């Protein structure tokens, strides 16, 4: 999608601090990190929100969990732990309408989140 900022990072039209890439996903450091480690994990397919996931995305969604684990290992936050967040639509706080996962760590997280 030509106007989508994450599609532009995937296409390397704008720079991102890419920490992982495979055929299905790209992951890069968040430009406005909310924790010492804050990685954004993005499927290369332009899927606007979590609500848009379909049966055909089953394999990709499974693969996503393994990519999160791999990134937690790369960023050395498997221990003591980390947080994984998906914001969906305005009430969920979604700002970029290309499905993505936040992986955050390197500090103690609070609960409930804001
Ligand atoms: P969300 O509120 O879940 O849509 O989160 C969007 C996230 O993308 C925010 O944490 C932003 O800081 C991050 N972000 C937006 N533009 C960029 C960019 N060009 N490079 C890296 N992260 C970005
Ligand atoms: Zn996109």
- Give me the residue spans of the domains in the chain: 5-105
Element housing 25 (H / E)? strand 25-29
Other beta carbons within 10 Å of 64: 20
Ligand 1 pocket, mutate which of 83, 96, 103 (most atoms under 8 A from CB): 96
Residue nearest to atom 12 of ligand 1 (CA): 32
Ligand 1 pocket, mutate which of 30, 83, 87, 114 (most atoms under 8 A from CB): 30
The pLDDT of residue 35 is 98
The pLDDT of residue 2 is 82
Active site residue 100: yes
Please give the Cα distance from 45 to 86 (Å, whole number).
16
The pLDDT of residue 65 is 97
Which residues are CB-neighbours of 81 under 8 A, at least 6 positions away?
105
The pLDDT of residue 1 is 76
Query: Could you state, in chain order, the average pLDDT of each consecutive group of 10 residues for the chain (114 residues)?
Result: 94 97 98 98 98 98 98 97 98 98 98 91
Based on its alpha-carbon atoms, the radius of gyration of the chain, rounded to whole angstroms, reads 14
Q: 28 C-alpha vs ligand 2 centroid, how far in Å? A: 14
Burial class (CB in 10 A: 0-12, 13-18, 19+), 70: middle
Q: Cβ distance 81 to 64 under 8 Å?
A: no
Sign of CA dihedral 64, 24, 96, 90: negative
Length of the chain: 114
Helices (H), 1-114: 5-10, 58-74, 89-92
Just give the CATH number of 5-105.
3.30.428.10
The pLDDT of residue 80 is 94
């Amino acid at each position: 999608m030509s106007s989508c900022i994450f599609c532009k990072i995937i296409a390397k039209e704008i720079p991102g601090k890419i920490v992982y890439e495979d055929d299905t996903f790209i992951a890069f450091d968040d430009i406005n990190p909310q924790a010492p480690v804050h990685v954004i994990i993005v499927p290369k397919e332009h899927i606007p929100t979590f609500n848009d996931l379909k049966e055909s995305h089953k394999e990709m969604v499974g693969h996503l969990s393994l990519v999160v684990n791999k990134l937690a290992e790369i960023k050395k936050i498997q221990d003591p732990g980390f947080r994984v967040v998906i914001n969906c639509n305005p009430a969920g706080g979604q700002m970029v309408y290309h499905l993505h996962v936040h992986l955050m760590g390197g500090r103690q997280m609070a609960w409930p989140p804001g």
